[in-house]
Chain A
Amino acid sequence: DTAVSQTPKYLVTQMGNDKSIKCEQNLGHDTMYWYKQDSKKFLKIMFSYNNKELIINETVPNRFSPKSPDKAHLNLHINSLELGDSAVYFCASTATSLNGELFFGEGSRLTVL
């Protein structure tokens, strides 16, 4: 019973393709995030949703489109993949009562060839 689960864990694809990553949390949290971790380990926030509403949208190319069908799910769709999109994408969740403590999934490692 993983708390924050992401699928797929590994994704290898060609430039120009479109791909999606899914995330689900069973912690009852109301806020979910997508982070990108590059090869130098920097974690950068991409998006945040609170109760299905987009609240943070960092400077991310519009090829990236998040979608939250309900507060337990947050998906990330990427169009026209580029080499620079290769990274590990982490989903995370939190609740208002937790003062910002994030619970991370295990990551989805995307490789664009």
Chain B
Amino acid sequence: QKEVEQDPGPLSVPEGAIVSLNCTYSNSAFQYFMWYRQYSRKGPELLMYTYSSGNKEDGRFTAQVDKSSKYISLFIRDSQPSDSATYLCAMSKAAGNKLTFGGGTRVLVKP
């Protein structure tokens, strides 16, 4: 079993819908949680960064961390076709430590 699990999808939604993504993890030592977006044939780019439990909002994106359940989520409101990409969660035990990635969820937003 991998340390970080993520449904590979694809997750297909109509434009304007809310996209809901999540990851589960097994190592309670993880403290820093990130979401990366990867377009086809491109490198991942950081979307959201959170420390410990709680919520963080940035525009149409909301990240949630529930450390008691070892579960993190990313919500995308008012989804656009340009949000179609693979979304990877990542986490580390300390700031600057190596990141452990989930396998990514492919999202398709249809016009």
Contacts and interface: CB of A to CB of B under 8 A. Distances in A.
B97 interface: yes
A45 B34 CA distance: 16
A40 B8 contact: yes
B96 A107 contact: no
Interface stretch (A11-19, A62-70, A95-103): A95-103
B32 A45 contact: no
B29 interface: no
Interface string B44-78: 11100100000000000000000000000000000
Contact of B42 (A31, A43, A102, A107): A107
B101 A43 contact: yes
A92 B36 CA distance: 13
Nearest to B44: A104
A69 to B, nearest CB: 22
A41 B7 CA distance: 12
A90 interface: yes
A56 B86 CA distance: 26
Given A99-B95, A102-B44, A104-B44, 11 more contacts: A4-B43, A40-B103, A41-B8, A45-B98, A94-B96, A96-B96, A99-B96, A100-B32, A101-B49, A104-B43, A106-B43
Interface of B: 2, 8, 32, 34, 38, 41-46, 49, 86, 88, 90, 92, 95-99, 101, 103-104, 106
20 contacts: A40-B8, A40-B103, A41-B104, A41-B106, A42-B2, A42-B104, A43-B44, A43-B90, A45-B98, A45-B99, A48-B98, A90-B43, A94-B96, A99-B96, A100-B34, A100-B95, A104-B45, A106-B42, A107-B41, A107-B42
